[in-house]
Amino acid sequence: MKVVIVGGVAGGATAAARLRRINESAEIIVFERGGYVSYANCGLPYYIGGDITDKRALTLQTTGSFKARFNVDVRVHSEVTAIDTSAKTVAVRETETGREYTESYDKLLLSPGAKPTVPDVPGIDNERIFTLRTVEDTFRMKDYIAAAGVKRAVIIGGGFIGLEMAECLTEAGAAVTLLQRSEHVMPNLDFDMASFVHGYMRSKGIDLRRNTPVDRYEAIENGVRVVTRNGGSIDTDMVLLAIGVTPDTALAAKAGIKLASKGAIAVNDRMETSVKDVYAVGDAVEIVNPITGAPAVIPLAGPANKQGRIAADNINGGDRHYKGTIGAAVMKLFDMTVAHAGLSEKAAKAAGIDYDYAVTYSPNHATYYPGASNMTLKVLFERATGRVIGAQIVGFDGVDKRIDTLAEAMRLGLTAYDLTELEFAYAPPYSSAKDPVNMIGYVIENVVSGRVKQYHWDEAAALDRDKVQIVDVRTPREFSHGCIPGAVNIPVDDMRERMGELDKSKPVYLNCQVGLRSYIAYCILAQNGFDCYNLAGGYRYWESAATESSFSVAPCHPCGMEI
């Protein structure tokens, strides 16, 4: 059996190695149009930023190591220009010599990946405008930064690459401006959670400008002028385009292979395309979102590796099935960690799911053990069942552990009731006896069961102050530092004695700093005949989302109260 693989990196290289491990006799050829067949794509920003100092560390396998260990014929600088699915051949052009030839196959695997999205705007071809996708892109940018002595940089787009490069360039001493076309960075977050990221970026000196699309680029002496559609302009030494990626599927389309949403290659759960004996994996394929059952394009390295392994098994006669992609992702931004999995509110609405969400503010480990730091968790759930459908976390230590747990909860179809019973390893340096995932489960359980009614940050402004009572149960000192407009202050510890000041004929909308003390006040008032609502996430959450206040890290305090 002769297997031709087009494209390396995560999906193609994984498939080649897996296929050799299970079939020593197969002839395996990998074509890669670049100079590197298997490299740490996600590590590229950290080489530019200096965290990774040895460029060789970026290369996971070379043509020589692939040949020696796996007996795979890897041909770099070799671009496949056409596929003849009837004759089962591919046309190849060597990019360095120009030589062209054809190669036959019995089975073909496409792993073309995705290419950076480059908008068609005037001046886009300026040599000081960069994209970051390949090792070659990385070396070119790093060399330019060193040679030009870059002191100013503009980043277009606030996704993973944009934020990671904002950190790297800032720590390298450049003044960084990040332009975001939409209202918030990290499109898979909701605005309220992204607001914490906004404030933190600004605290690190990054000039973040939201709702600022670019109109054109102009060449100036030793730099680039970025002209925005709102009439402003920024002079800079370099520009990084980081506005997303597009499936690189022109080759597949030309060969008559069926494409699906966003121009991605349509595959079944065996990673087979519409053409017999042709498979596809990685960032270029459309998969199924297990939460909604709907097709999706989710370009991530982990799924690409899994798909490559499954495709290799099936090419070798197996019957493996890919079960879809939740979309769990995590990133480092200076000391902050930002993570998400599953659906955002926008995605849940688009899927027609009747959902709600809960917010908690939990320490990563026991607060009496030194070094605890808080994380904000937002978990979306199906209103009728409590099924977990999405999670977003912004914090510092321990974020990755919790997003992984919540991602698997979604994959298994777990509910909030299940979250309350999940068992976690516990010791004070690592967690609390009630893990943050258990805690968010308790909160959702209270909402789904009807024990607690809640309201959200974006509903506070619409409350009719003549028809409802907004009660802040923090201390007078906390209240004096800021409150929701129209709120009155009755500290939670005074609530039993002062509830007579409230009107039972009007609903009571409660808040504290993070939602815990107001929950206690809710229990007191509800059992005394008041119609109550608790603010999800508390005043801290409202303040960040409603006012985009500057970021601050509040200290952790021990608390023995139960939810």
Q: HEC states along 109-144?
A: EECCCEEECCCCCCCCCCCCEECCCCHHHHHHHHHH
Nearest residue to 285 via CA among 313, 312, 257: 257
- Which residue among the candidates 42, 168, 512, 532 is catalytic per the annotation? 42
Instruction: Please provide the size of the chain in residues.
Output: 563
Helix or strand holding residue 145 (H, E): helix 135-148
Token pair belonging to 395: 């914090």
Q: Contact, 21 vs 47, CB < 8 A?
A: no
Beta bridge partners of 353: none
Q: Is 42 a catalytic residue?
A: yes
Q: Per DSSP, which regions of 63-202 are E strands?
A: 73-76, 78-84, 89-94, 100-104, 107-110, 114-116, 129-130, 152-156, 175-179
Token pair 């005949």 is at which residue?
529
Rounded Cα distance between 559 and 522, Å, is 18
Q: Contact, 324 vs 315, CB < 8 A?
A: no
Q: HEC states along 471-534?
A: EECCCHHHHHCCCCCCCEECCHHHHHHHHHHCCCCCCEEEECCCCHHHHHHHHHHHCCCCCEEE
The burial of 541, by beta-carbon neighbours within 10 Å (0-12 exposed, 13-18 middle, 19 or more buried), is given as buried
Q: Contact, 180 vs 230, CB < 8 A?
A: no
Nearest residue to 162 via CA among 230, 240, 89, 261: 240
The burial of 464, by beta-carbon neighbours within 10 Å (0-12 exposed, 13-18 middle, 19 or more buried), is given as exposed
| Residues with a known catalytic role | 42
